[in-house]
Structure 1
Amino acid sequence: MGNDEALTRSLLCLAMVIIIVGISTHSFKKMLVTYFVGLLGISGVLLPDWDFFDRDVSQWTRPVTVDSISPADVLRRGSTRFRFYPVRTIIYAVVYSFGLYKWWKYVTH
Protein backbone atom coordinates (compact mmCIF):
# COMPACT_ATOMS: atom_id res chain seq x y z
CA MET A 1 0.00 0.00 0.00
CA GLY A 2 1.51 3.31 -1.05
CA ASN A 3 1.77 6.38 1.12
CA ASP A 4 -0.98 8.18 -0.80
CA GLU A 5 -3.37 5.29 -0.39
CA ALA A 6 -2.57 4.95 3.31
CA LEU A 7 -3.14 8.68 3.82
CA THR A 8 -6.43 8.57 1.91
CA ARG A 9 -7.73 5.62 3.92
CA SER A 10 -6.62 7.18 7.20
CA LEU A 11 -8.35 10.47 6.39
CA LEU A 12 -11.54 8.66 5.37
CA CYS A 13 -11.54 6.73 8.66
CA LEU A 14 -10.93 9.98 10.52
CA ALA A 15 -13.89 11.59 8.70
CA MET A 16 -16.13 8.71 9.79
CA VAL A 17 -14.97 9.06 13.41
CA ILE A 18 -15.61 12.83 13.29
CA ILE A 19 -19.14 12.25 11.96
CA ILE A 20 -19.85 9.67 14.68
CA VAL A 21 -18.52 12.03 17.38
CA GLY A 22 -20.62 14.88 15.99
CA ILE A 23 -23.80 12.82 15.87
CA SER A 24 -23.34 11.31 19.31
CA THR A 25 -22.22 14.45 21.18
CA HIS A 26 -23.90 17.27 19.22
CA SER A 27 -20.76 19.33 19.80
CA PHE A 28 -18.87 21.11 17.05
CA LYS A 29 -16.00 21.78 19.46
CA LYS A 30 -15.56 18.05 20.15
CA MET A 31 -15.62 17.40 16.42
CA LEU A 32 -12.79 19.90 15.93
CA VAL A 33 -10.77 18.39 18.76
CA THR A 34 -11.28 14.95 17.21
CA TYR A 35 -10.14 16.30 13.83
CA PHE A 36 -6.92 17.80 15.19
CA VAL A 37 -6.09 14.82 17.42
CA GLY A 38 -6.71 12.52 14.47
CA LEU A 39 -4.47 14.57 12.18
CA LEU A 40 -1.70 14.52 14.77
CA GLY A 41 -2.06 10.76 15.14
CA ILE A 42 -2.02 10.16 11.39
CA SER A 43 0.94 12.45 10.85
CA GLY A 44 2.83 10.72 13.65
CA VAL A 45 2.63 7.46 11.75
CA LEU A 46 2.82 8.54 8.10
CA LEU A 47 5.13 11.57 8.08
CA PRO A 48 8.30 10.65 10.01
CA ASP A 49 11.50 9.95 8.14
CA TRP A 50 11.38 6.18 8.53
CA ASP A 51 14.86 5.78 7.06
CA PHE A 52 16.12 7.73 10.08
CA PHE A 53 13.90 6.09 12.70
CA ASP A 54 14.25 2.60 11.23
CA ARG A 55 17.31 2.03 13.40
CA ASP A 56 17.82 0.97 16.96
CA VAL A 57 16.67 3.65 19.43
CA SER A 58 20.22 4.09 20.73
CA GLN A 59 21.24 5.26 17.24
CA TRP A 60 18.59 8.02 16.98
CA THR A 61 20.90 10.68 18.39
CA ARG A 62 23.50 10.06 15.67
CA PRO A 63 23.05 11.26 12.08
CA VAL A 64 22.56 8.76 9.29
CA THR A 65 25.73 8.32 7.27
CA VAL A 66 26.31 6.56 3.98
CA ASP A 67 28.56 4.07 5.76
CA SER A 68 25.73 3.02 8.11
CA ILE A 69 23.43 2.00 5.23
CA SER A 70 23.96 -1.62 4.25
CA PRO A 71 23.17 -3.11 0.83
CA ALA A 72 20.43 -5.18 2.48
CA ASP A 73 18.72 -1.96 3.61
CA VAL A 74 18.75 -0.62 0.07
CA LEU A 75 17.24 -3.82 -1.36
CA ARG A 76 14.52 -3.93 1.33
CA ARG A 77 13.23 -0.40 0.62
CA GLY A 78 9.51 -1.23 0.48
CA SER A 79 9.10 -2.94 3.85
CA THR A 80 11.10 -0.73 6.22
CA ARG A 81 7.97 0.65 7.90
CA PHE A 82 7.03 -2.70 9.42
CA ARG A 83 10.30 -3.66 11.10
CA PHE A 84 9.80 -4.40 14.78
CA TYR A 85 11.89 -2.70 17.45
CA PRO A 86 10.57 -3.26 21.00
CA VAL A 87 11.62 0.12 22.44
CA ARG A 88 10.17 2.07 19.50
CA THR A 89 6.95 0.09 19.78
CA ILE A 90 6.73 0.80 23.52
CA ILE A 91 7.33 4.53 22.95
CA TYR A 92 4.63 4.70 20.28
CA ALA A 93 2.20 2.63 22.38
CA VAL A 94 2.66 4.86 25.45
CA VAL A 95 2.32 8.15 23.54
CA TYR A 96 -0.67 7.05 21.48
CA SER A 97 -2.40 5.39 24.44
CA PHE A 98 -2.07 8.55 26.53
CA GLY A 99 -3.36 10.71 23.68
CA LEU A 100 -6.27 8.38 23.00
CA TYR A 101 -7.11 8.28 26.70
CA LYS A 102 -7.15 12.10 26.99
CA TRP A 103 -9.22 12.43 23.82
CA TRP A 104 -11.72 9.83 25.05
CA LYS A 105 -12.06 11.57 28.43
CA TYR A 106 -12.71 14.89 26.67
CA VAL A 107 -15.23 13.53 24.19
CA THR A 108 -17.21 11.49 26.73
CA HIS A 109 -17.52 14.26 29.33
Structure 2
Amino acid sequence: MMNDAVLRSSLLYLGIIVLLIGIFTYSFKKMMVTYFFGLFAISGVLLPDWEFFDRDFSQWFCPVTIEHGADSSSPQISRSTGFKIYPLRLALYAIVYGFGLYKWWVYVSN
Protein backbone atom coordinates (compact mmCIF):
# COMPACT_ATOMS: atom_id res chain seq x y z
CA MET A 1 0.00 0.00 0.00
CA MET A 2 2.92 2.33 0.67
CA ASN A 3 4.14 1.98 -2.93
CA ASP A 4 0.70 3.01 -4.21
CA ALA A 5 0.85 6.20 -2.16
CA VAL A 6 4.36 6.97 -3.42
CA LEU A 7 3.26 6.33 -7.02
CA ARG A 8 0.19 8.57 -6.63
CA SER A 9 2.18 11.42 -5.10
CA SER A 10 4.91 11.08 -7.75
CA LEU A 11 2.32 11.30 -10.53
CA LEU A 12 0.72 14.31 -8.83
CA TYR A 13 4.06 16.12 -8.67
CA LEU A 14 4.73 15.18 -12.29
CA GLY A 15 1.41 16.73 -13.27
CA ILE A 16 2.31 19.94 -11.44
CA ILE A 17 5.71 20.07 -13.17
CA VAL A 18 4.10 19.48 -16.58
CA LEU A 19 1.61 22.27 -15.88
CA LEU A 20 4.42 24.65 -14.87
CA ILE A 21 6.41 23.77 -18.01
CA GLY A 22 3.31 24.54 -20.08
CA ILE A 23 2.75 27.88 -18.34
CA PHE A 24 6.36 29.03 -18.69
CA THR A 25 7.11 27.73 -22.22
CA TYR A 26 3.68 27.85 -23.93
CA SER A 27 4.63 24.63 -25.71
CA PHE A 28 2.41 21.55 -25.77
CA LYS A 29 5.29 19.54 -27.26
CA LYS A 30 7.59 20.38 -24.34
CA MET A 31 4.78 19.48 -21.94
CA MET A 32 4.44 16.05 -23.56
CA VAL A 33 8.20 15.46 -23.56
CA THR A 34 8.28 16.37 -19.86
CA TYR A 35 5.33 14.08 -19.15
CA PHE A 36 6.83 11.07 -20.91
CA PHE A 37 10.29 11.67 -19.44
CA GLY A 38 8.69 11.88 -15.98
CA LEU A 39 6.75 8.66 -16.53
CA PHE A 40 9.95 6.93 -17.64
CA ALA A 41 11.82 8.22 -14.59
CA ILE A 42 9.09 7.26 -12.13
CA SER A 43 8.60 3.82 -13.63
CA GLY A 44 12.35 3.19 -13.62
CA VAL A 45 12.51 3.75 -9.88
CA LEU A 46 9.17 2.45 -8.60
CA LEU A 47 8.19 -0.44 -10.88
CA PRO A 48 11.17 -2.83 -11.15
CA ASP A 49 11.04 -6.17 -9.38
CA TRP A 50 13.26 -5.20 -6.44
CA GLU A 51 13.50 -8.78 -5.22
CA PHE A 52 15.29 -9.56 -8.49
CA PHE A 53 17.44 -6.41 -8.66
CA ASP A 54 18.19 -6.28 -4.93
CA ARG A 55 21.20 -8.50 -5.47
CA ASP A 56 24.77 -7.91 -6.53
CA PHE A 57 25.03 -6.77 -10.17
CA SER A 58 26.93 -9.91 -11.16
CA GLN A 59 23.88 -12.02 -10.23
CA TRP A 60 21.36 -10.00 -12.30
CA PHE A 61 21.82 -12.39 -15.22
CA CYS A 62 20.87 -15.43 -13.13
CA PRO A 63 17.27 -16.25 -12.17
CA VAL A 64 16.12 -15.67 -8.60
CA THR A 65 16.31 -18.91 -6.65
CA ILE A 66 13.82 -20.03 -4.04
CA GLU A 67 16.46 -19.66 -1.34
CA HIS A 68 16.92 -15.98 -2.21
CA GLY A 69 13.17 -15.41 -2.09
CA ALA A 70 12.95 -17.25 1.24
CA ASP A 71 15.47 -14.87 2.81
CA SER A 72 12.81 -12.22 3.12
CA SER A 73 10.25 -12.70 5.86
CA SER A 74 7.45 -10.99 3.95
CA PRO A 75 6.82 -10.62 0.22
CA GLN A 76 6.44 -6.84 0.42
CA ILE A 77 9.61 -5.36 1.85
CA SER A 78 9.63 -1.65 2.47
CA ARG A 79 12.32 0.38 0.76
CA SER A 80 13.92 1.42 4.04
CA THR A 81 14.56 -2.15 5.18
CA GLY A 82 14.87 -4.14 1.98
CA PHE A 83 16.61 -1.81 -0.45
CA LYS A 84 20.37 -2.30 -0.42
CA ILE A 85 22.60 0.27 -2.08
CA TYR A 86 25.12 -1.26 -4.44
CA PRO A 87 27.72 1.11 -5.95
CA LEU A 88 27.41 -0.23 -9.50
CA ARG A 89 23.61 0.05 -9.49
CA LEU A 90 23.84 3.57 -8.07
CA ALA A 91 26.36 4.55 -10.75
CA LEU A 92 24.17 3.06 -13.48
CA TYR A 93 21.11 4.97 -12.24
CA ALA A 94 23.13 8.19 -11.91
CA ILE A 95 24.48 7.93 -15.47
CA VAL A 96 21.15 7.08 -17.11
CA TYR A 97 19.05 9.59 -15.17
CA GLY A 98 21.72 12.28 -15.27
CA PHE A 99 22.04 12.04 -19.06
CA GLY A 100 18.26 11.98 -19.47
CA LEU A 101 17.79 14.97 -17.18
CA TYR A 102 20.50 16.88 -19.03
CA LYS A 103 18.93 16.19 -22.42
CA TRP A 104 15.48 17.11 -21.08
CA TRP A 105 16.79 20.38 -19.63
CA VAL A 106 18.54 21.32 -22.89
CA TYR A 107 15.33 20.66 -24.84
CA VAL A 108 13.00 22.49 -22.45
CA SER A 109 15.27 25.51 -21.88
CA ASN A 110 15.62 26.24 -25.61
| TM-score, normalization by structure 1 | 0.90
1:70 CA displacement? 5.2
2:73 is paired with a residue whose SS is helix
Query: Counterpart of 1:15?
Result: 15
Aligned residue-pair number: 107
Residues 58-77 of structure 1 aligned to structure 2 (within 5 Å): 58-69=58-69, 71=71, 73-74=72-73, 77=77
Amino acid at match of 1:19: L
Query: Counterpart of 1:40?
Result: 40
1:31 CA displacement? 0.2
Output one character per residue of 1:45-74: Cα deviation in whole Å (capped at 9) or x when no partner.
111000000000000000001133453x33
1:30 CA displacement? 0.3
Unaligned runs of 5+ in 2: none
Unaligned runs of 5+ in 1: none
- Dislocated runs of 4+, deviation >2 Å: 67-71, 73-79
Query: Counterpart of 2:86?
Result: 85
1:40 is paired with a residue whose SS is helix
| TM-score, normalization by structure 2 | 0.90
* C-alpha distance in structure 2 between counterparts of 1:69 and 1:15, whole Å: 36
Percent identity for Structure 1 against Structure 2: 55
* C-alpha distance in structure 2 between counterparts of 1:86 and 1:25, whole Å: 37
* C-alpha distance in structure 2 between counterparts of 1:39 and 1:77, whole Å: 23
* C-alpha distance in structure 2 between counterparts of 1:68 and 1:36, whole Å: 34
What is the root-mean-square deviation of aligned Cα atoms in Å? 1.6
Identify, as 1 or 2, the structure richer in helix. 1
